[in-house]
Structure 1
């Protein structure tokens, strides 16, 4: 498509030419903000260079935002859980400063693990998804999965001779979030396959898990003591362990509503 030059055109014709050029060049944000930015530049006597910079920075910022949103969507979170919505007053066992420090993602840059340990209803999944979302928005590749779902996928991949490819796919993401680890017993084969994923990522890319069992209780999930010890080692070495406590926020909220009704 040929775009007509705007020299000597009226403002209306120039606006139409800019609109056409933005479509051709795939600059949707410039196309959207151009009229208002042009009017503001005229009022504020902005230089040509300043006006162009405003338009291009708006396009860059919007592209960064859209990329972040795509990464968050690609992570596969089951629902939206943001850190800003987490009620720290409902769980005094948690230090807000510690969580906000984790949200800066330095541990992901270093490839370190994170363990969120606590009873059901204490906010583990909220924090796991919230920190994963922060990582995605910061530019990291993130993948969320339930522990049982991951193991089932690995077993199916092994049966179909696709295990190496599947493990490599999980190994490439910067942060792998595994939820509900410890909710059900894994047979030896499933535990060994999960161990392979953790080994693939060891000291290279981060793993964050949420579990309702303390490490001493993981022998109920991983029935082989040596394999259990090796998995605990992979998930704790050099990393952060956050204990969310034993008091269920959901139960406390429900009980409070029953009391006030």
Structure 2
């Protein structure tokens, strides 16, 4: 007969921590003594003691999962709408952007296309929407159009294209930034089209571009391919028109003006009295 009793030579605390690790309950291991002392002090029964531990574990687990989703998304930087200046882009539909932050468009497998010149905050909005999706438990992948095409062509050469295509198809939200800055080869454009085609009505895609739709042929190289791509991308899409002056250009002008003013003041101070 097997003896299942707990060895008396091992402290219960050590066994508890080992069980917590086995069951993957790190917050239990970290907090059980502290919460136990608090409950004993407040005369809280064992059920509420366990409830407090479970709540702490749940909160901490969601935090870790969110951090993991953000890490896997490969955002170049983490940005939210808290730092976005809507006043600088008066033509942008702010109520729509705030509504999109709820993420229902992702569940509906819809798309977003943000159009506008360089520097108006298209990437900022895309990053904020991607962050919100991660916080709501959705898988996200961020890439630029040029990097994605390069990755697709590399995968094709290494005979792992199907694996990559499957990954790109199954991610809940795919963000493709900066479509329009670099023209693609015929093969690259076809591989990119295949990504959009596979995700059509299967998962949500967000695209930012500095070009209006009628100029996308200059990047994709084929009018037939462009029409087919736009047909899929815009079928269930929210269009964000972001026209305005570049944030970077505005900041540069502001710095130049401040420099001129500073030099003028220094000259005035340097004049002999």
Instruction: Report if TM-score (shorter chain) is over 0.5.
Output: yes
Question: Of 187, 198, 202, which residue of structure 2 is paired with 1:204?
Answer: 202
Q: Which is further off, 18-27 or 120-129? A: 18-27
Check whether the contact 2:184–2:221 (CA below 8 A) recurs between aligned residues: yes
TM-score by length of 2: 0.85
Partner of 2:56: 58
Q: Pick one of 164, 167, 176 that aligns with 2:165.
A: 167
Describe the SS at the equivalent of 1:77: coil
Aligned residues of 1:86 and 1:126 also touching (Cα < 8 A): yes
Matches within 5 A, 1:103-252: 103-252=101-250
Q: Distance in 2 between matches of 1:213 and 1:229?
A: 15
Q: 1:239 to 1:5 in 2, by over 3 A?
A: farther
Mapped to 2, the partners of 1:33 and 1:216 lie a distance apart of 59
Spell out structure 1 runs of 4+ moving beyond 4 A: 2-6, 13-21
8 Å contact kept, 1:3–1:20? no
1:20-63: per-residue Cα shift (whole Å, max 9, x none)?
A: 54344432112222343223323433222111101011111211
Tell me whether 208-217 or 80-89 shows the greater mean CA deviation: 80-89
Counterpart contact for 1:82–1:133, Cα < 8 Å: yes
Give yes or no for contact 2:180–2:211 (8 Å, CA) kept in 1: yes
> 2: CA distance between counterparts of 1:157 and 1:110?
30
Aligned partners of 1:122, 1:189: CA distance in 2, in Å?
31
Tell me how far 1:259 sits from its aligned partner.
2.1
Question: Structure 2: which 5+ runs fail to align?
Answer: 260-273
SS in 2 for 1:221: helix
For the aligned residue pairs, the C-alpha RMSD in angstroms reads 2.2
CA distance in 1, matches of 2:112, 2:5: 53
d(CA) in 1 for partners of 2:47, 2:119: 55
SS in 2 for 1:144: strand
- TM-score of the superposition, structure 1-length normalised? 0.88
Q: Does 1:100 align with 2:94?
A: no
